[in-house]
Amino acid sequence: MQINNLEKFTSKVRSGKLACEVVITFNDPSISELAADAGFDFAWLDMEHSPFTLTDAANHIMALRGTDCAPFVRVTWKEHGIIKPIIDLALAGVIIPMVRTGEDMRAGIMVGAFAENMESWKHRKLDWAALTTYCGALFNTARRKICLATGECE
């Protein structure tokens, strides 16, 4: 059963079609329902720049169930204790902010069962393409999620 629309989203992107998104910063989940009704392919629930709580994110994700809109959550920071509870919400993907280095990427995706799989990356020279592919593969196969990193400057 597809509850987070990840398959619909990735299918659209892989076919070369444009996936339309909406960034949501209001804590009222009816905004997510409206976004889905408006035809958006995915909703970026921004916990970094809004007063979202874990409960608010869960309510938005529940509001998107049964629609064609995939829920992505941008977490507040690339830290295990922040990301892991978000992953448990059955969303389509996690967006990790402020990724500047390979260590930042590792910090963002070394959650739970992924920690031992990242051991081989510790001493490698940074290869963004390989690391991003590895990150996406982990989330797709292990938890059926996508991991997106946002590279940002101060």
DSSP string of 85-101, one letter each residue: HHHTT--SEEEEEEE-S
As separate numbers, helices (DSSP H) first and strands (DSSP E) second, the chain gives 6, 5
Residues 6+ apart with CB under 8 A from 44: 21, 22, 23, 24, 72, 73, 74, 95
Identify whether 49 is a catalytic site residue.
yes
Residues 145 and 92 sit within 8 Å (Cβ to Cβ): yes
Tokens 């970094």 belong to residue:
48
Active site residue: 49, 60, 80, 123, which one? 49
Distance, in Å, from the CA atom of 145 to the CA atom of 111, rounded to the nearest integer, reads: 13
Residues 29 and 60 sit within 8 Å (Cβ to Cβ): yes
Residues with a catalytic annotation lie at 49
